[in-house]
């Protein structure tokens, strides 16, 4: 990441840390979710079904958030190691524009597209 200034480095680190904290907060107890709290005392089977569905959605959202959190923690680790901003496939610099859009990006656009298309 030699081409990126330390100011940009600090800004991206702050974005990653703030988003990471936000995700951790969202991944709290299901009882803290307003949609689930509204269904705290279900009286009939429709209420139970709705509560089960809301809990399932909460768990699915947490699963996605956890994956994103791992990506962010990986980016913070790369920042500490000095490898942040370098594509993990080809070793070229990841564009600043891409890092601004996706601060946890591990691959340059070319390598990311190749991975998504399934070709190596």
Predicted confidence band at 45 (pLDDT cuts at 50, 70, 90)?
A: low
Q: What is the pLDDT of residues 91-104, one digit of tens each?
A: 999 998 999 899 99
pLDDT top residue among 77 and 31: 77
Q: Which residues of 48-75 are buried (b: 16+ CB within 10 A; e: fewer)?
A: eebbeebeeebeeebeeeeeebebbeeb
């Amino acid at each position: 990441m030699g081409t990126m200034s330390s100011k940009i480095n600090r800004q991206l680190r702050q974005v990653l840390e703030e988003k990471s904290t936000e995700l951790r907060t969202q991944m709290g107890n299901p009882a803290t979710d307003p949609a689930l709290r509204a269904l705290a005392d279900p009286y009939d089977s429709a209420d139970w079904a709705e509560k089960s569905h809301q809990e399932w959605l909460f768990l699915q959202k947490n699963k996605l958030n956890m994956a994103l959190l791992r990506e962010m923690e990986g980016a913070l680790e790369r920042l500490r190691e000095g490898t942040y901003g370098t594509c993990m496939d080809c070793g070229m610099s990841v564009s600043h524009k891409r890092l601004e859009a996706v601060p946890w990006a591990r691959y340059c656009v070319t390598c990311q597209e190749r991975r998504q298309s399934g070709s190596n």
